[in-house]
Amino acid sequence: MAASGALGTFRLPPLPTIREIIKLFKLQAAKQLSQNFLLDLRLTDKIVRKAGDLTNVYVYEVGPGPGGITRSILNAGVAELLVVEKDSRFLPGLQMLSDAAPGKLRIVHGDVLTFKVERAFPESLKRQWEDDPPNVHIIGNLPFNVSTPLIIKWLENVSQREGPFAYGRTQMTLTFQKEVAERLAASTGNKQRSRLSVMAQYLCHVQHVFTIPGRAFVPKPEVDVGVVHFTPLTQPKIEQPFKLVEKVVQHVFQFRRKYCHRGLGMLFPEAQRLERTGRLLQLADVDPTLRPGQLSVSHFKSLCDVYRRMCDEDPHLFAYNFREELKKNKRAGQEREADRESRSL
Ligand code: SAM
């Protein structure tokens, strides 16, 4: 009974420590792959506790490595744990864990950036979006160069209710470089407020749950690590396509120390920039002299709604890219200059 996990009472039998597993299977961290391992089971237990009650939950762990967090997840009474690991050196150690937890641990040698988790768990787990989150949870301590692009991809998936969110409002507990964790959770006016804060918070309830000092990892990274918990919102705070929101938010934050009208202006071709930026700000009822970090998600909602209307009126507007216009103007200037020079010869 216990082995089925139905009562959430499963405990792993005594096993070699993670440090011994690393030695046994010669799992030196690959520096170029930013592999930093958590060996302290009290810390991995804490990460898993912060994910919430995982009894009978189907968990998807990204990048299990030598399996520290994996052990804590298995001890949390989950229904099943699916791990996706890119580096084949970790597979024998994970197999040892799988043998110790019969029928509980499924190991996939693959890449989390392409793995299709929406096909991995039973269909019956799927819930309506408005319901409570499904019995599916994502947990992971990935290298920072993977976790940031992955969260952007998953936020887009939240907006489209696909990928891991085909099951409903799947919750995630993930680690990031501490500064990125702070940005993800930063509220309006906070000095860490950034593009990531708005993109995450218009779609999810975001909580920076705790910080792990860099010295807790082996080898020790240069930075501390933040654990962040995400729960997708039943109703996104901005109801426009992800790419449109991303474009507006990106433009605002590209001049983070200037007034917000400066970045917003770059959404429009130079010839109409002044007039259209003024119209956007006026219709959205946003003070042009607010700095990017002072804009709330509801300011961004108004800006995105009005920008969307402007795009509907002018079908070329969304494709407009000020960098291309700058390049074109520069080229035209150089050609004029070359022309002048050749005439004066
Ligand atoms: N989770 C383990 C821990 O906390 O000790 C390992 C952490 S280490 C920072 C990141 C792990 O993610 C490594 O095992 C690495 O091989 C794996 N990884 C990196 N990129 C990956 C990818 N794209 N897909 C799957 N695994 C990946």
The least confident of 169-183, 293-307, 323-337 is 323-337
pTM, to two decimals: 0.92
Whether the CB of 77 sits within 6 Å of ligand 1: no
- For residue 91, give the 3-state DSSP assignment: helix
The least confident of 56-60, 239-243, 322-326 is 322-326
Q: Please check whether residue 38 is in contact with residue 69, taking contact to mean a CB–CB distance below 8 angstroms.
A: yes
Reported as a single tens digit per residue, the pLDDT across 203-247 is 999 999 999 999 999 988 889 999 999 999 999 999 999 999 999
Kindly report the protein residue whose alpha carbon is nearest to atom 3 of ligand 1.
37
The residue behind tokens 């509907």 is 312
Asked whether the predicted pLDDT for residue 2 surpasses 60, the reply is no
Provide the ipTM.
0.99
Between 31 and 248, whose confidence is greater? Answer: 248
pLDDT for the residue numbered 345: 66
Whether the CB of 30 sits within 6 Å of ligand 1: no
- CB-count exposure of residue 149 (10 Å: 0-12, 13-18, 19+): exposed
Strand partners for 172? 138, 230
How far does the centroid of ligand 1 lie from the alpha carbon of residue 276, in Å? Answer: 46
Reported as a single tens digit per residue, the pLDDT across 196-211 is 999 999 999 999 999 9
pLDDT for the residue numbered 5: 39
Q: Which residue in 64, 70, 116 sits closest to 90, CA to CA?
A: 64
Identify the band that residue 32 occupies on the pLDDT scale cut at 50, 70 and 90: low
Average model confidence (pLDDT) for the chain? 93
Sequence-separated (6 or more) residues with CB below 8 Å from residue 19: 39
Domain boundaries of the chain, sorted by first residue: 18-232, 242-326
CATH fit for domain 242-326, picks 3.30.70.100, 3.20.20.70, 3.40.50.300, 1.10.8.100 = 1.10.8.100
CATH 3.40.50.150 for the 18-232 domain, yes or no: yes
Identify the band that residue 7 occupies on the pLDDT scale cut at 50, 70 and 90: very low
Q: Please check whether residue 159 is in contact with residue 203, taking contact to mean a CB–CB distance below 8 angstroms.
A: yes
The answer on whether 85 is annotated among ligand-binding residues is yes
Kindly report the protein residue whose alpha carbon is nearest to atom 24 of ligand 1.
111
